[in-house]
Amino acid sequence: MSDQDEGEIYLNKLKVLTSKESKTENMQYCILSWPEKKACQITNFPHPYPQLSSIQKEMIRYGRKDGVQLTATLHLPPDYDPARDGPLPCLLWAYPGEFKNKDAAGQVRDSPHKFAGIGSTSPLLWLARRFAILTSPTIPIIGEGDEEPNDRYVEQLVASAEAAVQELIRRGVAHPNKIAVGGHSYGAFMTANLLVHAPHLFCCGIARSGGYNRTLSPFGFQNEDRTLWEAFDTYIEMSPFMSANKIKKPVLLIHGEEDNKQGTLPMQSSRFFKALKQNGAICRLVTLPFESHHYAARESVMHVLWETDRWLQKYCVANSSDGSEEPNAREVNAIQGKPDAEIKAIGAAGGVPEQL
């Protein structure tokens, strides 16, 4: 930027607005004068969450069994020592991506020096509950040459999840029986698929605003350009709805009632919930009134946090076995013989009670 209102801009009068941050210091803005390159800090924002100012953040690297190199960001609570405190309950939060070769899939796409920002529904909030949090683990779905990535979606998804879980256990930061998996949108789709195809890895799942039946988006989804009729077997294999009878671990479904994304319409969660309940799964559906694909209202955000924390405390922290046993009471009554309007657990909007 320059102080000149008009005319030519001279480099010796130029000022550059820059920002700086680190793993432990939140972003501050500076003015850099040219050509001296002398920086003058112009902001002094306080730490947004001083209680978590000493969280431990590390970008970790590990390999998949097919040789693809993976990365993830591991967050640990303040003052945590694996040798002294032992393994923690863990939440793995992810979002898969498609690639055409292994080299592209193995590239690092984030800086290990970024400040750990915590959003309103961020999984990092559970650092305050003394969870280990693994965010942004690379889950590449690769299709080299003429092969389409999604033709081997399930195989590569499970291999990536296994590599991440094995690394957490190797480091001694995660209890093998207390690792939960979660995600939003395509990450929710991933979560459901992992509970179908890799139940040995996770004790429970949290799926927000996902699409679970790919036949309901027959003209393509995410980066899949083929239609249902061109890749029928792929659509069916990738749809966790088609394997709802195989899900035995507890799963929490959350969806905005006004979600208008073509691939994640609210009926995706309501129909998946019905399929899970009819097959005896431990599950809960929470629909958020007036919310779209992302949640904005304070009531909705707080309710999502409450539901998520309650689920993690019950099925992750308290888990002492493989998590497949039945609880004393179901989360929601069986849906057999009930109309559609009576099978939704509705939260937010001033504390609307559950309708059972």
- DSSP states of 2-13: BS-SSSPPPGGG
- Choose, from 185, 217, 243, 300, the residue flagged as catalytic: 185
293 is catalytic: yes
**Catalytic residue among 120, 136, 292, 293, which?**
293
Q: At what angle do helices 186-197 and 153-171 cross, to 10 degrees?
A: 80
Q: Quick one: residue 121, left, alpha or beta (phi over 0 = left, psi -120 to 50 = alpha)?
A: alpha
What phi-psi label fits residue 280: left (phi over 0), alpha (psi between -120 and 50 degrees) or beta? left
Selected catalytic residue, list 259, 270, 300, 303: 259
Burial class of residue 325, CB neighbours in 10 A (0-12, 13-18, 19+): exposed
DSSP type of residue 46: P
CB 100 within 8 A of CB 144: yes
Whether 110 is a known active-site residue: answer no
C-beta of residue 256 within 8 angstroms of C-beta of residue 264: no
| Gap between the Cα atoms of 233 and 50, Å rounded | 51
Tell me whether residue 185 is one of the annotated catalytic residues: yes
SS3 263: helix
8-state DSSP, 14 = B
Do residues 195 and 181 lie in contact, with contact meaning Cβ atoms separated by under 8 Å?
Answer: yes
Nearest alpha-carbon partner for 138 in 181, 194, 96, 180: 96
Report the C-alpha gap between 307 and 317 in whole angstroms: 14
Interatomic CA distance for residues 236 and 243, integer angstroms: 9
| Local structure of 29: helix, strand or coil | strand
Residues annotated as part of the active site: 185, 259, 293
